[in-house]
Amino acid sequence: MFLTILSLLLLLLIALGFVRVIRYFWGWLGYDSELERAVAAGYVGEETGRAALLSRRSLTSEQRREIALGRERLKEETLDNLRFGWYQAIFIFVVGSVGGLLLEEVWMLVTAGVTQSRVGLVWGPFSPIYGFGAVALTMITFFLRRHGAGDIKVFLVSALVGGVLEQITGWAMAELFDAQSWTYLYLPDHITQWVAWRFLVMWGLLGVVWARFVMPWILCHIGEPTTRRQVVFVIILAVYLTLDIAMTLACFGRRVRRDAGYPAATVFEEWVDENYTDQFMSEKFQNLVIGQDL
């Protein structure tokens, strides 16, 4: 129990430090704070804005209402005029991949007392299923918002998208690499090995929360690029992630072929066999089994 609490405190400190670094880097990229943009747009008065930036504790209730209303107007204007594309998708993929991985590891630590590497790519703390899920939910809920969809429609569409994503991912891992990361066959409400009714409900609820709170907040902060530095940074991220995904597929492909007794046929495959051994793959992807059922 003590070790669990200590581990949670350590994770909290790491998360707080990570947030500080992100805030500093966000400013370096040329992004103004939400409050600064609301003042620049005229939604918050300059006097109130200066007071808030100096000390929020000294704000009156009227000034706090002004700031809240200004932020809401800024968010709505940003979403109404935003053109969703690859720039926003890359940011959301990274946030979803890292955030989802962190939440899953905390969940496993709290509920099962298990600490293990649950990453999905060979380089970096990324879980791509959460990244793709975040991008899919953002795109769909952004589209539904533009068409005035209610919570029920958002819930149903999000549940469908989540179930399809889990089914395709689980099936592809099993068929291409003879690997499994999760199974729902032990649950009484399973639909397939990788889809269960309870998790469809969770996907649906997540979609509603995402549409109402997360998606507007994250897209308002990302916006559209305003400096060359921002574009260059996202291009570098995109190239890195593409190489990371390609390298992960190559490593799993060689793992399967090694298990089948096929030797390396190229210099690249020899390099993969030397640097990404079975031991490395087992230690890196600790929640993944290859060649057997969960």
Distances (CA, A) of 246 to 122, 240, 242, 283: 10, 10, 6, 20
- Three-state DSSP at 45 gives coil
Residue 245, domain member (yes or no): yes
Over its length of 294 residues, how does the chain's per-residue pLDDT go in tens digits?
A: 566 667 667 767 776 776 777 777 777 777 777 778 888 888 888 888 787 777 766 788 888 888 888 888 988 888 888 989 999 999 999 988 988 888 888 777 777 676 777 888 999 889 898 898 889 889 988 988 888 888 999 999 999 989 998 999 899 888 887 788 888 999 999 999 999 999 999 989 988 998 888 888 889 888 888 888 899 999 999 999 999 999 999 998 898 888 888 899 899 999 999 999 988 888 888 777 776 665
Residue 25, domain member (yes or no): no
Residue 115, domain member (yes or no): yes
Residue 133, domain member (yes or no): yes
pLDDT of residue 152: 93
CA–CA separation, 188 and 198 (whole Å): 10
pLDDT of residue 4: 63
Distances (CA, A) of 160 to 156, 195, 262: 6, 11, 39
Residue 57, domain member (yes or no): no
Task: Note down the domain range covering 89.
Answer: 85-290
Task: Report whether 114 contacts 108 (CB < 8 A).
Answer: yes
154 sits in which H/E element: helix 151-177
In angstroms, what is the C-alpha Rg of the chain? 22
Nearest to 81 by CA among 26, 108, 41: 41
Distances (CA, A) of 140 to 32, 40, 107, 210, 211: 27, 30, 26, 10, 9
Give the single-character DSSP code of 196: B
Distances (CA, A) of 9 to 2, 6, 109, 114, 185: 11, 5, 12, 16, 34
Angle at Cα 128 formed by Cα 107 and Cα 182, nearest 5°? 55
pLDDT digits (tens, 9 = 90+) for 60-111: 888 888 888 888 898 888 888 898 999 999 999 998 898 888 888 877 777 7
pLDDT of residue 51: 78
Residue 26, domain member (yes or no): no
**Number of folded domains that form the chain:** 1
Task: Report whether 179 contacts 288 (CB < 8 A).
Answer: yes
Residue 193, domain member (yes or no): yes
Amino acid in position 21: V
pLDDT of residue 201: 94
Task: Report whether 220 contacts 88 (CB < 8 A).
Answer: no
Residue 161, domain member (yes or no): yes
